């Protein structure tokens, strides 16, 4: 393969298109969340991930799992948790069965903000995808995003 190999060029162009789509969506959602709720995309994502925890087996996430879910390093996730904790949106506590473990829960204020911000996030996502679908290069990627976890047609109820 050479640097001008058509397969590599197509692959690179696909990657650039995917990166462009991600950037546009994230920027659109960021503007909406900041303007209406004073939240960044990462803060919203962290609140959303942590709000889905439960008290059953495997219900509380370790910091590495949280970091993976919000696509940040562990240190960046810890800083983000601290920022949201300082705002009263998260609270940390020691794991009752392993004193080395620290859990993070969303506070009532955090849950309220998340509930208020969810429609903004969802609307901004739909708007960003709608705009991107008008671009011939991005339209196929939009269709893929829209098809992920979509209910299968004709499947039994």
**pLDDT 10s digits, 40-82:** 999 999 999 999 987 777 778 888 889 999 999 999 999 999 9
Two tokens, residue 34: 């900041």
Query: 37 Cβ partners below 8 Å, 6+ apart?
Result: 44, 113, 116, 117, 120
Average confidence score pLDDT of the chain: 89
Angle at 130 between CA 127 and CA 132, to 5 degrees: 110
Residue 136 included in any domain: no
pLDDT at 114 over 50: yes
| Structure confidence at residue 4 as a pLDDT band (50, 70, 90) | confident
Flag whether pLDDT at 20 surpasses 80: yes
In a domain, 8, yes or no: no
- The pLDDT, as a whole number, for residue 9 is 85
State the total domains in the chain: 1
The pLDDT value given to residue 57: 73
Q: Tell me whether residue 74 is in a domain.
A: yes
Place of tokens 């949201």: 84
Number of C-beta neighbours around residue 79 at 10 A: 12
Global pTM reads 0.84
Which segment of 12-21, 22-31, 41-50, 142-151 scores lowest on mean pLDDT?
A: 142-151
Q: How confident is the model at residue 157 (pLDDT cuts 50, 70, 90)?
A: very low
In a domain, 139, yes or no: no
In a domain, 50, yes or no: yes
- The CATH number linked to 44 is 1.10.10.10
- pLDDT at residue 2 above 70? no
pLDDT higher for 156 or 16?
16
Gyration radius (Cα) of the chain, Å = 19
> For residue 88, how many C-alpha atoms fall within 13 Å in the half-sphere facing its CB?
4
Within-domain flag for 151: no
Domain that holds residue 26: 16-129
Q: Is residue 109 part of a domain?
A: yes
140 lies in a domain?
Answer: no
């Amino acid at each position: 393969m050479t640097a001008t190999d058509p397969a590599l060029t197509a692959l690179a162009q696909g990657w650039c298109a995917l990166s462009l789509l991600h950037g546009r969506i994230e920027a659109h959602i960021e503007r909406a969340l900041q303007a209406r709720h004073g939240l960044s995309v990462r803060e919203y994502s962290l609140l959303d991930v942590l709000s889905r925890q439960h008290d059953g087996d495997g219900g509380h996430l370790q910091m590495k799992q949280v970091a993976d879910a919000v696509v940040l390093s562990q240190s960046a996730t810890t800083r983000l948790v601290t920022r949201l904790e300082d705002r009263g949106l998260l609270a940390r506590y020691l794991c009752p069965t392993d004193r080395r473990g620290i859990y993070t829960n969303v506070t009532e204020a955090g849950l309220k903000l998340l509930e208020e911000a969810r429609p903004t996030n969802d609307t901004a996502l739909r708007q960003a995808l709608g705009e991107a679908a008008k671009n011939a290069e991005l339209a196929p990627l939009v269709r893929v995003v829209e098809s992920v976890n979509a209910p299968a047609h004709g499947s039994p109820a």
